[in-house]
């Protein structure tokens, strides 16, 4: 399926989504920066999985969700999305607040999802460090803190290299507002999540950047300890955006972790 955009109505909210690829469904949940669309790593993974990359309610071109109060609301909403979109039992990959959302979904309903990929997720309070207060910094300064080295990022120019247009600025503001709505207090974590993570029996891959200045790597260790079937991979010379900073290596990690699709027999639809 060629990548295309759709609007899917769930619970009265029109959810904008990128959809494309082939194979079992993989639900991709973006971080606080918003849905970056069909980027390089998504293209590579979509050669083996059907990627569903919705834009969170309140973000980008999705409808408003002023009633939402926290990431647990978003997680419950995406469990509904899975039903509404007919995804069956998708694998779920989430980055940052999307990773937190994925972890909450798995803790709420392990049988609803297949495998779990958590990329630098927030959601747990670090034991010693702190999650950077992303709302305290002007966006350009925050971007500097988010990545390790712009020079190594293949899609830098395309994603960050030009001045945003007024509509793009409007969307960026909207994204920040919704992120604030969902994560302001307790800041970027759910004090009760750790109690529920041991329920998550789904095989889980955790990916982190060694130089992540937004969410300390120790949070990855916490997730690994609390999730019964999790491995942690820490990428060197990488900040908070492994899928963007190291797209090829990231796509390979994901493809190595997710179960290889069965070869489709002629005349048989793969279940």
Write out the residues near another protein by the rule CB under 8 A.
135-138, 173, 176-177, 180-181, 184-185, 187
Q: Do the beta carbons of residue 223 and residue 230 sit within 8 Å?
A: yes
Cβ of residue 177: shortest distance to another protein, in angstroms?
A: 4
Residue placing its CB nearer to another protein in the complex, 133 or 158: 133
Cβ of residue 90: shortest distance to another protein, in angstroms?
A: 30
Residue placing its CB nearer to another protein in the complex, 64 or 149: 64
Q: Are strands 50-54 and 13-21 parallel, antiparallel or unpaired?
A: antiparallel
Q: Are strands 13-21 and 4-10 parallel, antiparallel or unpaired?
A: antiparallel
Cβ of residue 127: shortest distance to another protein, in angstroms?
A: 21
Distance of alpha carbon 85 from the chain centroid:
18
Sign of CA dihedral 143, 147, 151, 156: negative
Cβ of residue 80: shortest distance to another protein, in angstroms?
A: 22
Residue placing its CB nearer to another protein in the complex, 46 or 175: 175
Residue placing its CB nearer to another protein in the complex, 66 or 158: 66
Six token digits for residue 253: 């990690």
Give me the half-sphere count of Cα atoms (radius 13 Å) on the Cβ side of residue 234. Answer: 14
């Amino acid at each position: 399926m060629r990548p295309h955009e759709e609007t899917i109505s769930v619970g009265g909210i029109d959810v904008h989504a990128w959809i494309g690829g082939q194979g079992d469904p993989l639900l991709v949940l973006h971080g606080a920066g918003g849905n970056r669309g069909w980027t390089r790593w998504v293209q590579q993974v979509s050669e083996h999985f059907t990627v569903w990359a919705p834009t969170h309610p309140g973000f980008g071109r999705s409808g408003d969700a002023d009633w939402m109060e926290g990431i647990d609301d978003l997680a419950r909403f995406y469990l509904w999305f899975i039903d509404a979109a007919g995804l069956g039992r998708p694998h779920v990959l989430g980055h940052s607040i999307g990773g937190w959302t994925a972890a909450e979904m798995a803790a709420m309903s392990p049988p609803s999802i297949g495998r779990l990929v958590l990329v630098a997720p927030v959601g747990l309070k670090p034991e010693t460090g702190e999650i950077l207060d992303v709302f305290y910094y002007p966006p350009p300064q925050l971007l500097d803190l988010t990545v390790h080295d712009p020079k190594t990022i293949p899609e830098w120019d395309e994603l960050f290299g030009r001045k945003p247009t007024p509509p793009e600025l409007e969307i960026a503001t909207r994204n920040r507002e919704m992120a604030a709505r969902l994560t302001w207090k307790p800041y970027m974590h759910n004090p009760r999540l750790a109690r529920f993570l041991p329920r998550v029996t789904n095989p889980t891959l955790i990916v982190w950047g060694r130089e992540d200045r937004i969410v300390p790597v120790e949070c990855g260790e916490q997730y690994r300890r609390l999730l019964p079937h999790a491995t942690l991979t820490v990428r060197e010379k990488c900040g908070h955006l492994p899928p963007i900073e190291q797209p090829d290596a990231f796509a390979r990690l994901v493809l190595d972790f997710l179960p290889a699709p069965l070869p489709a027999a002629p005349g048989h639809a793969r279940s």
